[in-house]
Chain A
Amino acid sequence: MKKKPAPINPRKTPIPEQAPGIRRSNFEEVSLGYSEEQARQEAARCLNCKEPKCVTGCPVSVPIPAFIQAIKTGDFNKALAVIKSANLLPAVCGRVCPQESQCEMLCTLGKKFEPVGIGRMERFVADWAARNSAVEAPVPEASTGRSVAIVGSGPSGLACAYDLAKLGHRVTIFEALHEPGGVLVYGIPEFRLPKKIVAREIEVLKKMGVELVTNAVVGKLIEIDELMDKYDACFIGTGAGVPKFMGIEGENLTGVYSANEFLTRVNLMRAYDKEAFDTPIRRGERVAVIGGGNVAMDAARTALRLGARETIIVYRRSEAEMPARREEVHHAKEEGIIFELLATPVRILGENGQVVSLECLRMELGEPDASGRRRSLPKKGSEFRIPVDTVIVALGTNTNPLISRSAKDLAVNDYGYILADENTGKTNKAGVYAGGDIVTGSATVISALGAGRKAARAIHAAVSGKNDRSRGQTS
């Protein structure tokens, strides 16, 4: 008689988390991650489809069923190798990827039940490897004598550097801030992505011989043309740019932050530890965060952890249209963040230069716009005020002009984003490649990683084909 397989659990194996009431006042990571047993239990839910849809939803095509099968058999090293063949930063992506709109959205199991917890398992594999010191820097191939300059040490730059270094090219990363990691360090909070995880990845690059130059603002200290004099190729991955503001009355009052500033002060400059670190931050009592993306969730939950009594997310559409990861919205709600939906700010009121309230208009949803999300329209005469002392604007960014101002022959579009080939990252300037948010506008960590890798492949092909090597050896 054939043995009947155990029925599939319709729900994802729950991931242990800090209780909301506790975590809302600390900066420790929210999710604690799967144990080996939990990971194997979740792996058992995977149907190992012949034509896995999940892979097509992944911007870097991680062979998802293959790594899950390795988890099932307890071969976590193999699982890591499978993931790393496509994704260099599983510890990061397992935590910050919007799985519900990528791999997990297409999971076959998800048609009937909750999809397989792919992100949670990816994270488990990476953390398991780190705990068991199985993470070793790959030994680069023999030196090719070629060199590549990488501008920016965020996700796209790190990925590009990793692949090129592995292939034996000499890689130098130029970072404008004093610490490498880009948005992974200044933007994403500790409670969602601990800094030590990013530091670990950077250590791997250093072990591979990648050189990191901090405090180097390309476009100010060094021009792209100067880099091209000294290197065989250059990759620009400078990321998201200058913060957008709404242009409403009161936006420059004290107590109004861009999310970038608020998060940079807390994350990069560690303002949450005011005893030890010098950078000041306002610890608002009542904080409004404007926007519905991940950055808005991060800012709101950060404000809460700094001691806000009430933190309110103000978003002009409904929850269904929110671009934030579902998990972040869920976590934010659990922590007591208030959602003021279908509301748009019209002005910020102040007294003696300090914010006292945010005036909003009620919105209603209309027809879908170009992005497919339903347009929101203001209701006349529906003004209402939310008393707050701090306002954080998290509405995305415009392009940073530093590089395009200094490299005038680099082609950009009307909004200032660098024009680069989707498959190779090639720009109009010979030897210069670009990828990540500076090309696509605000997107995800994983798509930036993908762009960095594609560019690495194209750069490798281009510099390897160079016969005469007249540059790269600098005094």
Chain B
Amino acid sequence: MFLRAVVKFLVMAKILEKKLIRKPDVFSYELDAPRISRKAQPGQFVIIRLHEKGERIPISLADINPAEGTITLIVMAVGKTTTELSGFQTGDEILDLCGPLGMPTHIEKAGKVVLVGGGFGVAPLFPIARAFKAAGNSVTVVMGARSGDLLIYEQEMQQVSDRVLITTDDGSKGTKGIVTTALSREIAENGADLVMAVGPAIMMKSVSETTRPFGIKTVVSLNPIMVDGTGMCGGCRVSVGGAVKFACIDGPEFDGHAVDWELLMLRQKAYKKEEQESFEAWKQRHERMLSKERQPLCE
């Protein structure tokens, strides 16, 4: 019966498959979510709450499979909740799964589309790349990591794009450098009609600064702190073109050239003290990704 199905599938979400994506702390979770999978579009997110005492955290959709009735999340264990999640195994259930939330990526035939992924951003770019490709665009993916063995989703991205450009800091794979190095070169050599960046704020900011002089439309997916995800609390407010927007209902995607990056990064740190451990780790991750002297994330 319809109602039983709704109750069953909306209230608890079973982990159908948990996989280690990158040692030691990045996992993918394929969740049983038939109704969400039927509605979800690239660029949207869900909010999860692990248990009765857990917080609500937003996570981007890394894959949507309506045929199988599943969605996939890729999460790195950085803070309390994400580390706790990494202790969940295949067959375990997440107490609350709410979505799909946010506006979908505006998929259009733009021509040459360049998608830039940093860190986790690579995962949500997968369904976005697939949709742009299906819409008849030429899709180039730029993805970076400290070294070759830290790249995730490389093969998956190959499947849904025309080209994948890889950058590594140590030069162990692809071009030596960071994503904006490859992006600048790509723009100079082949041009771009649309650039989209998903990842840490500092990376999205750099991408936006890289494209600004060329006037290339640049879409970014913002990741502020959220509570309800339905517009009710205003905690995720961001400033875009001088206007206050709520990332949960107006976004999460906005014009990267109009975003007030300083404000976003400031507000992301609102609970620095309270979430010290998790936030320190998150910040280090940003630093590692962009600074010259990076330390190995894992061995």
A473 to chain B, nearest CB (A): 9
Which residues of A are found within 8 Å of B231, using beta-carbon distances? Answer: 241-242, 400-402
Please tell me if the beta carbons of B246 and A242 are within 8 angstroms of each other in the complex: yes
What is the chain B residue whose CB lies nearest that of A147?
B3
**Contact flag A278-B54 (CB < 8 Å), given A211-B3, A260-B234, A400-B230:** yes
**A245 surroundings in chain B (CB, below 8 A):** 234, 237, 244
Which residues of A have CB within 8 Å of B11? 213-215
The interface-forming segment of B59-67, B68-76, B96-104, B137-145 is B96-104
Name the distance in Å between B183's Cβ and chain A's nearest Cβ: 29
**Inter-subunit contact B100/A220 (CB<8 Å):** yes
B162 within 8 A of A: no
- B2 near A474 with CB under 8 A, answer yes
CA gap between A464 and B235 in the complex, in Å: 44
Query: Which residues on B sit within 8 Å (CB–CB) of A279?
Result: 55-56, 227
Instruction: Give B271's nearest chain A residue, CB to CB.
Output: A280
Is B233 in contact with A264, judged by CB distance below 8 angstroms? yes
Flag whether A6 is at the interface (Cβ < 8 A).
no
- Is the pair B232, A242 in contact by a Cβ cutoff of 8 Å? yes
Tell me whether A243 is interfacial, beta carbon within 8 Å.
Answer: yes
Interface residues of A in 200-252 (CB under 8 A from B): 211, 213-217, 220-222, 230, 241-243, 245, 247, 251-252
How many residues on chain A are close to B (CB under 8 Å)? 47
> Looking at chain B, what size class is its interface with the partner chain?
35 or more
- Are A213 and B230 interface neighbours, CB within 8 A? no
Task: Report the minimum CB–CB distance from A159 to chain B (whole Å).
Answer: 21
* A147-164 vs B, Cβ < 8 Å mask (1 yes, 0 no): 000000000000000000
Is A276's CB within 8 Å of the partner chain B? Answer: yes
Known: A215-B11, A252-B263. A221 touches B35 (CB 8 A): yes
Contacts of B81 in A (CB 8 A): 278
Which of A40-48, A170-178, A369-377 is the interface stretch? A170-178
Does chain A have a CB within 8 A of B106?
A: no
Q: Whole-angstrom distance between the alpha carbons of A176 and B233 in the complex?
A: 13
B1 contacts the other chain (CB 8 A): yes
- A331 at the A/B interface (Cβ < 8 Å)? no
A217 and B227 contact, Cβ closer than 8 Å, known pairs A254-B269, A279-B56, A474-B2: no
**In this assembly, does A265 line the interface, its C-beta being within 8 Å of a C-beta of chain B?**
yes
Partner of A215, one of B39, B53, B97, B239: B97
Q: Can you list 5 pairs linking A and B with CB atoms under 8 Å apart?
A: A176-B230, A243-B233, A255-B270, A276-B53, A278-B55
Given pairs A243-B232, A353-B269, 9 additional interface contacts (CB within 8 A): A186-B228, A186-B232, A213-B7, A215-B96, A258-B235, A278-B54, A279-B227, A280-B274, A402-B230
